[in-house]
Amino acid sequence: MTSNAMIVVTVRLFAAPREFTGKGVIELSLPHGARLSDLIDRLSADYPGLGKYLPYSKLAINHAIAAPETILQNGDEVALLPPVGGG
């Protein structure tokens, strides 16, 4: 595999981030070896203003909450989960 190999991940957005971007699903190409934190940086760059939601959101990869240092794999589904309020 060459150093310029790319992976494609699907990002699912809900609630305010979905409304902000106008998209429920975004497909992104990232370099092989990219981490979840790289995906967040990319989303913030591609959608200025989305970053205000990120500190309050959880991120899941393939239905499991994941840490920023998690390495992404081709075909992963990343969900940007908004905070849940209630009382």
Domains of the chain are 1-11+34-87 (3.10.20.30)
Cα–Cα distance for residue pair 15/2, rounded to 1 Å = 38
Using alpha carbons, select from 40, 12, 15 the residue that is nearest to residue 27.
12
> For residue 11, what pLDDT is reported?
97
How do residues 25-54 score in pLDDT, each as one tens digit?
A: 999 999 999 999 999 999 999 999 888 888
3-state secondary structure of 31: strand
> For residue 62, what pLDDT is reported?
98
Instruction: Report, as an integer, the average pLDDT of 46-65.
Output: 92
Residue 64's contacts (CB-CB under 8 Å, 6 or more residues apart) are none
- For residue 4, pLDDT over 80 is answered with no
pTM: 0.88
* Confidence class for position 85, pLDDT limits 50, 70, 90: low
